[in-house]
Amino acid sequence: MAQHIKDFFEDRARKGDAGFAIAYALIDLTDAQEATAKALQRLGMADAATPMGAIETLALEVKNAARLLTEAMERADSADHLG
């Protein structure tokens, strides 16, 4: 059965081979960087042609809530001046 290169490097690193330990650490860092990039893309950090992500949707909801609060305060202020 074929062994995945990452598994091979890990085995050699655990046996004390410093060169393979460094190579294994770099492979691990590459995997972590790729996972981070995918997570950021899912949060809406991709280009503008993609659907809105979580951060963009949250920002839109905060903007809408601020607008509604402003309108409500303006109506309350107008009512105070009329009555």
**pLDDT per residue over 48-58, tens digit each?**
555 677 777 88
Where along the chain do its domains lie?
Answer: 5-82
**pLDDT per residue over 15-28, tens digit each?**
999 999 999 999 99
The model carries a pTM of: 0.51
Name which residue leads in pLDDT, 61 or 77.
Answer: 61
| Strand ranges for 1-83 from DSSP E | none
Query: Between the CA of residue 20 and those of 4, 45, 65, 80, what are the distances in Å?
Result: 14, 34, 54, 75
